[in-house]
A and B are shown apart, each in its own frame.
Chain A
Amino acid sequence: MADELQHYAVSPADWRRTLRQNNYRTYIIITLFFLIYCAIGLLVDMYMATTYYPQATIPQLFHALITFKIFPLATSIMLIIAGVSLFVSYILYDKLMLLGTEYHEISPGNFQSVPEQQLYNVVEEMKIAAGLRYMPKVFIIDADYMNAFASGYSEKSAMVAITRGLMEKLNRDELQAVMAHELSHIRHLDIKLTLTASLLSNLTIMALDMLFYNAIFSGGGRRDGEDSRSRNGLLMIIVVLRYLLPVISVLLLLYLSRTRELMADAGSVELMRTNQPLASALMKISDDHTQNRDKYNAEYKQTPHENVRREAYIYDPTQAGIESVASVSELFSTHPSLEARLAALGFKIKK
């Protein structure tokens, strides 16, 4: 047993249950995002409809829209916009992830050292264990801090990237556990999922914003006597949602990304059939970040666009107090705490 884990009591990790539970949670969250998006679309439609039917009540309008008596134009347009922007972001996403880093790809035949060869082998072993059909591209980021991430919206275009620091400081088993975690992200299609969720939530907030300003500023231009009750009611809802919804969607997104992290941890145990290497790798990464906080803070800061990768990293640098990565809207960690992750892996602190 590794030194890092001597203060922990071990129990077997039930990865099957963790996977099932978190899968279920994901369905709920994605459905919620979709429903919220449609609800905002309907809100826009209802608001527009009050112009033509000033006397109709809110439930009447709602009923007319969902039974297509009034065609829900705004909702349809918003769904089309969502579809197109998802498609475009899927195409551009891979280029985005390595933005700002110094990196090089490794492949058989151009290994510069034995550790690089070992890294590639480890990824290939995990690819076999996961039964993936395509070998992901492997990139090394030239940085001292220990981190890794996976990207790609399908098995075919998948890639894993790992910092030189991580490659050099972990032993073979720990490296394997980290890569198993990353490959689990790929086979669970997490990148696609979080991308979809965050895009939907951004679009929702944008639509709501437009509606909000429209409602506030066009209100003065209305002729007297056209004032309808349901319009005022809707206006209230819009104002409340304008301030409430961004908070709700940030919380939902964080919950989603934490859920997926726990799933990837469980996936790593599933592939390796042992929970110890991942636990000790996580401890090493966390300790290393705490020890070299100031140095890494500067390094993360020097790398532009670090917030693009934050969610995808195996370890959230903000957890070690490295703030250069976090932006104002992200007060909370995208990852579960180290204790929570170790507990899910079956390692509990001895009292």
Chain B
Amino acid sequence: MTLIIVLILVAIIGYAVLCYNGLISQIESVRNNQKQIDIQLDRRFKVFESLINVVKKYMDYEQTTLKDVVALRNQAQQAQASGDEKTRIAAENKISNIASGLNVVFEQYPDLKANQNVMQLQEEIVSTENKLAYAKQSYNDSVERYNANKKSFPTTLIVSAFSAKVDFDFPYWQLSEQKIAEQESYTVQL
């Protein structure tokens, strides 16, 4: 009889340990995915720099653009350092706009469009914007997995027992209400 009780206790403790470790690894993957967004933002800036260097040979367009991108980038980094997410996202979004502007510029220069380097860089722009979007998606997915696990029974018992270590509130990556309204009413003007 005592053997059975001991076995049940061991099983319960083992299960609790597994749950706890599962939560820890989910928390870390959320954090990692959060940083992945930063990595992609950083990468995007580098791609743009090299892109603008190539375009330089073909037009005057770049001088101001390059300065704009660098200025926006500094703005974003300062905002990040001071924890001002709003300014940071605004700056990053402006860089996105410049990117789509560049693709339109390419269409007007046939020999630029045919340039192998430019073709590669265009592919890089598409890919960079995609990577950024997928990094955000991946971050949200990991937040979903963590939240679902955290709130489900019986894991929630363990969360309340060790709330300092395993209970975090990660926000989903999302646009602000105002931004959503702006984007929804946005139409392409040709």
Q: Which residues of A contact B (CB under 8 A)?
A: 111, 114, 117-118, 121-122, 124-126, 128-131, 172, 271, 273
Q: Which 9 A-B pairs have the closest CB atoms?
A: A121-B127, A129-B134, A128-B134, A131-B138, A125-B130, A114-B119, A128-B135, A125-B131, A125-B134
Question: Which B125-156 residues have C-beta < 8 A from chain A?
Answer: 126-127, 130-131, 134-135, 137-138, 141-142
The smallest C-beta distance from B32 to any residue of chain A, in angstroms, reads 8
> A128 with B124: in contact, given A114-B119, A273-B137 (CB under 8 Å)?
no
11 contacts between A and B (CB under 8 A): A114-B116, A121-B123, A122-B127, A124-B127, A124-B131, A128-B131, A128-B134, A130-B138, A131-B29, A131-B33, A273-B137
A130 to B137 alpha-carbon distance, docked (Å): 9
> A117 with B138: in contact, given A124-B127, A131-B33 (CB under 8 Å)?
no
A273 to B33 alpha-carbon distance, docked (Å): 18
The smallest C-beta distance from B117 to any residue of chain A, in angstroms, reads 10
Residues of B within 8 A of A271 (CB): 134
The smallest C-beta distance from B126 to any residue of chain A, in angstroms, reads 8
| B96 lies within 8 A of chain A by Cβ | no
Contacting residue for B124 out of A121, A126, A131, A172, CB 8 A: A121
Shortest Cβ distance from A131 into B: residue: B138
Contacting residue for A128 out of B116, B123, B138, CB 8 A: B138
The smallest C-beta distance from B182 to any residue of chain A, in angstroms, reads 22
| B36 lies within 8 A of chain A by Cβ | yes
Shortest Cβ distance from A130 into B: residue: B138
A22 to B95 alpha-carbon distance, docked (Å): 42
Asked if residues B138 and A114 are in contact (CB atoms below 8 Å), the reply is: no
Residues of A within 8 A of B126 (CB): 121, 172
Asked if residues A131 and B127 are in contact (CB atoms below 8 Å), the reply is: no
Shortest Cβ distance from B29 into A: residue: A131
Contacting residue for B120 out of A117, A124, A129, CB 8 A: A117
A124 to B43 alpha-carbon distance, docked (Å): 13
A271 to B140 alpha-carbon distance, docked (Å): 12
Question: Which B15-44 residues have C-beta < 8 A from chain A?
Answer: 29, 32-33, 36, 40
